[in-house]
Amino acid sequence: MRTVYFGRIRVHDVSGEPAARHKSADREESPSGTTTRATPRPRLIISSHRNGAIDGHQVLAAFPRAQFLISIQLIRSWFLRLFIAGIPVVRPKDVERYNLDPTSVASPVEAGTAHLRRGGDLGIFPEASSEWGHRPQPYKSGAARIACTLREEGIDLEVIPVGLFYSTPDRFRSRAEVVRGKSITIPARNGQERSVWEAEVASAMGSALDEISVNCPDEETFERIQAKALNVARSTPGRAATFAKAFLDLQGDASTAAADGPPAAAGPAITVLRWVGIALMWLFAPVLAAAALAGSRADGRNTVTFFRLLGGFAAVMVWVPALIVAVFFWPLVIGIGIVSAVCGWLLLGLRRFRL
């Protein structure tokens, strides 16, 4: 569903480090001559949080083995569990809202630490909740606490910052890209109090995330950079057309974006082309309608996409079986409709016109 909505998720490695190998499949030979499975190096992935629950699926495009710390409200129904899995985080308001016994749920920090001890990849959103804004929300300290605990145990932990970028978070077939930053050097404790050390580690993590995330001084600057980065991505040919890189470059020199005046609205050609692309998907009109209705119920711009995916998938569960039956009676009509829908989807993803 992520691929249908956004297309292929581009992953950019700006760390300058050699391509990392996850060692879970590697094998080592022991002194006795027997071959054993090597212990994988655990990776703590700290990510920006821009677009609701769909952000976790974007991170999975770069780290498909990752497990996440997630709000318990996202896995309380069977339908949501079709999309999301993870280690539940129970907040005080969740205990009251769902009438839970907090002692019956494992500490998310302890559960996440145990997962890393086994050599897993653990994803954390230090902002704790998403917001479509011009800069990150305050970072929580849970990731730093986990990193410090494992370092005290002598575990070789890699901490990787990840920035998430969307050209338009709430539009079908808009650009979505992932930026992997340089692994973070965890400061040594050097005899400091644990709380002081954790604060120093949290500061290092926050600085690393700020470097590869949306982090503009104000909303106006953000809107200008967002629009200019999209224009750069549209006008740059081939694989070099990267929205995320253009955004980070402009963010590093905000004065350039500020000098360009207010962002321009999408031209009429783009608007017409989008409507043509959507019209070509006529066979799946019930799915698109259900997605649009669900998106209209979202409580913020950063949750529209996730609501649309839920509504669209619910409609798919009904409409696709109906189409399978219909193909026995009207094979030509259904075949034309499928080809038309594919053409519409591809049209909406054209580089020069994509939102």
Q: Residues 28-63: pLDDT tens digits?
A: 444 455 544 556 789 999 999 999 889 999 999 999
Give the per-residue pLDDT at 263: 53
Tokens of 17: 């480090």
Q: Establish if 95 belongs to a structural domain.
A: yes
Q: Establish if 147 belongs to a structural domain.
A: yes
Query: What amino acid occupies position 3?
Result: T
Q: Establish if 134 belongs to a structural domain.
A: yes
Give the per-residue pLDDT at 21: 43
Indicate whether 276 and 145 sit together in one domain.
Answer: no
Indicate whether 56 and 136 sit together in one domain.
Answer: yes
Indicate whether 57 and 201 sit together in one domain.
Answer: yes
DSSP SS3 for 351 = coil
Q: Residues 313-335: pLDDT tens digits?
A: 999 999 999 999 999 999 999 99
Domain, as residue range, for 128: 2-21+35-211
Number of domains in the chain: 3
Supply the pTM of this predicted model. 0.86
Strands 176-180 and 121-124: unpaired
DSSP SS3 for 251 = helix
Give 260 or 235, the one with higher predicted confidence.
235
Instruction: Give the closest residue to 247 by CA, choosing from 156, 317, 301, 168.
Output: 168
Give 181 or 82, the one with higher predicted confidence.
181
Give the per-residue pLDDT at 23: 42
Can you give the CATH number for the domain in which 94 is found? 3.40.1130.10
Q: Establish if 354 belongs to a structural domain.
A: no
Give the per-residue pLDDT at 22: 43
Instruction: Give the closest residue to 85 by CA, choosing from 110, 66, 101, 102.
Output: 66
Write down how long the chain is: 355
Indicate whether 251 and 319 sit together in one domain.
Answer: no
Q: Establish if 309 belongs to a structural domain.
A: yes
Q: Establish if 299 belongs to a structural domain.
A: yes
Indicate whether 43 and 167 sit together in one domain.
Answer: yes
Mean pLDDT of 192-209: 92
In the structure, what pLDDT confidence band is assigned to residue 241 with cuts at 50, 70 and 90? low
Kindly tell me the burial class for residue 29, based on how many C-beta atoms sit within 10 Å of its own C-beta (0-12, 13-18, 19 or more): exposed
- Asked whether the predicted pLDDT for residue 287 surpasses 70, the reply is yes
Indicate whether 332 and 240 sit together in one domain.
Answer: no
- Asked whether the predicted pLDDT for residue 15 surpasses 80, the reply is no
Indicate whether 158 and 252 sit together in one domain.
Answer: no
Q: Residues 92-113: pLDDT tens digits?
A: 777 777 777 766 666 778 888 9
Indicate whether 138 and 175 sit together in one domain.
Answer: yes
Give the per-residue pLDDT at 71: 81
